[in-house]
Each structure stands twice: as structure tokens, then as C-alpha cells.
Amino acid sequence: MNKAKRRAVIAGNWKMNKTRPEAKALIEEIIPLVKDADCGVVVCVPYTNLETALEAVKGTNIGVGAENCHWEKSGAFTAEISAGMLAEMGVEYVIIGHSERRQYFAESDVTVNRRVRAALDEGLKVILCVGETLEQREHGITERVCAIQTKAALEGVTAKELASIIIAYEPVWAIGTGKTATSEQANEVNHYIRTVIADLYGEEAAEGTTIQYGGSMNAKNAEELLDQVDVDGGLIGGASLKAPDFAAIVKAASRT
Ligand code: PGA
């Protein structure tokens, strides 16, 4: 495994947090702290904050992402936002398949795949989330679950398009719980997901794919997790809402 072949990306997932003035203030606090980052830095914010975020990051090394998108281009889908609407704004990234979407909003592998397709068609970069529940881990089917979710989401995605996909391995039991996967557990599953990518697209494509870890990554445990050979950055929830914590994680990713 050669980590040098891929770029680590630290992405904040703000979830349903921050008003527009709060978003502006947080991004302005983050900017000077991450300006020398040697990794990708992204903030994924609520739809209502996208314009504010895009304005605030102008001229900086920070990218902006949304937290989801719909698969249709337009139509009678009350409250939904299309990938094209995001792309037109200048949004660069979109999180798809987050476990909270799967769990609370009944998103399935099929709709995740459709959303991925729509995002790629609009030129967006996708942060695709996969991961097992505690019950699935206890039943020893972590790998099977991650393989199914990854393969289903990438159905119809070409090798060229894979370059626009970041995978985030997020064990559901570690999200927002303070229970982090150990660095070994994270590396093991990230490595396994890379073998799934290799099966689908070949060894070289797999070596070049950024695979993040997410789930209670914070300023304290980031260094150890990011040191792992198959962990190429992180998707950060809680800790991304505090500028010094988020910046510390970016710093840890920059040195590995
Ligand atoms: P957490 O969330 O860092 O708060 O556990 C991660 C995520 O849900 O992406």
C-alpha cells in the first residue's frame, strides 16, 4: 500500500447545525488555522448555509459541500434539492448515503446509487458513506455489509468517474457516540473496502482512491487514526463544529 498515491481529505459534516451568521463566523475562524494544510479541507453544510459558505471560502483552500442531493433533475419532489442546483451554485462536494439518512430517512442502497449517479452527472465530487451497525458487527458481517453498500452505490460508475468519489467508512456505532473504532479496526475495514474497489476497478484505481474514516474522530484521536496506511482522512461530525478541533485534525492529516 502506498499512501503517497492519494490525497487525504478532511471533511466537516455539520449536519443540522449553524445559522448563517454562525456558519460565517465558524468558517472565518477555520480559514487562518488551516491555510497551510497539506490535505484537502472541506466543509459540508446545511443547504441554507451553502451560499454563505461559498462566499466565506473564496480565495481559500477550503472546499464546500452539501449533505445530500436528490437523484432527479427537477420536478414534484417537495423539499428536495437536485445535484444540478448545487452545481450551479458552485458547490464542489456532496455527502451521499450518510447512515443518518439511511437510518432516519429510509434511504436505501438503490436510492444512494441514484444520488451518486446524479451527482457525478452534474460534475460534483461525492463523499460516499458506508458502514455497519453495532448489531451487524456483532454478527460478524461488517465486511459483507460494507461490500454490498460500496458495490451497490458504485453500480454504473465508470473507472474515470471513480476519481470523483471519496469513500467514508463510518461504523454506525461510532457516530456521535464518542465510541471511536480503534485505529486497527478502522484500518482493517478501510483496507477491506480498498480490496472491494480493486475487484471492481483494478489495483491501481483502488490505490488511488481516498478512503476516509468517520465516527467520533477528534483532535485527540485523529493522529493515530490518520497514521494508518489505509485511512486517508476523515469525515468529521461533532469536532468539525469547533474551529480549533477541526484544525487540529487537519494538521494531523497534513503530517501523515
Ligand atoms: P461524529 O460524526 O464525528 O460526530 O461521530 C461523523 C459523521 O456522522 O460523519
Distance 79 CA to ligand 1 centre (A): 24
Index of the ligand 1 atom closest to the CA of residue 238:
4
Question: Active-site residue among 92, 122, 132, 170?
Answer: 170
170 annotated active-site: yes
The per-residue pLDDT for range 155-213, each reduced to its tens digit, is: 999 999 999 999 999 999 999 888 888 999 999 999 999 999 999 999 999 999 999 99
How far is Cα 173 from Cα 195, in angstroms, rounded to an integer? 23
Ligand 1 — pocket residues by CB below 6 A? 13, 170, 175-176, 214-217, 235-239
Q: What is the mean pLDDT of residues 118-125?
A: 98
Distance 123 CA to ligand 1 centre (A): 25
β 233-236/40-44 pair status: unpaired
pLDDT at 4 > cutoff 80: no
Distance 215 CA to ligand 1 centre (A): 5
Q: Please check whether residue 99 is in contact with residue 126, taking contact to mean a CB–CB distance below 8 angstroms.
A: no
The per-residue pLDDT for range 80-92, each reduced to its tens digit, is: 999 999 999 999 9
Which residues lie closer than 8 Å to 161 by C-beta, 6 or more apart? 120
Q: Please check whether residue 87 is in contact with residue 57, taking contact to mean a CB–CB distance below 8 angstroms.
A: no
Summarize the chain as % helix, strand, coil (round to 5).
50, 15, 35
pLDDT at 130 > cutoff 70: yes
Among 68, 98, 236, say which to mutate for ligand 1: greatest number of ligand atoms within 8 Å of CB. Answer: 236
Question: Active-site residue among 70, 98, 100, 107?
Answer: 98
pLDDT of residue 5: 72
Q: Please check whether residue 153 is in contact with residue 112, taking contact to mean a CB–CB distance below 8 angstroms.
A: yes
Share of the chain above pLDDT 70, in %: 98
Q: What's the angle, vertex CA 185, arms to CA 30 and CA 243, rounded to 5?
A: 10
Give me the chain's average pLDDT, please.
Answer: 96
b/e burial code for range 36-68 (CB count within 10 A of at least 16 → b): ebebbbbbbbbbebbbbbbebbeeeebbbbbbb
How far is Cα 5 from Cα 29, in angstroms, rounded to an integer? 31
Distance 124 CA to ligand 1 centre (A): 22
98 annotated active-site: yes
What domains can be seen in the chain, in order of their start residue?
3-242 (3.20.20.70)
| C-alpha torsion angle, residues 87, 217, 169, 58 (rounded to 10) | 10
pLDDT of residue 182: 95
Confidence of residue 1 (pLDDT cuts 50, 70, 90): very low
Distance 76 CA to ligand 1 centre (A): 31
Index of the ligand 1 atom closest to the CA of residue 95:
9
The residue contributing the CA closest to ligand 1 atom 6 is 237
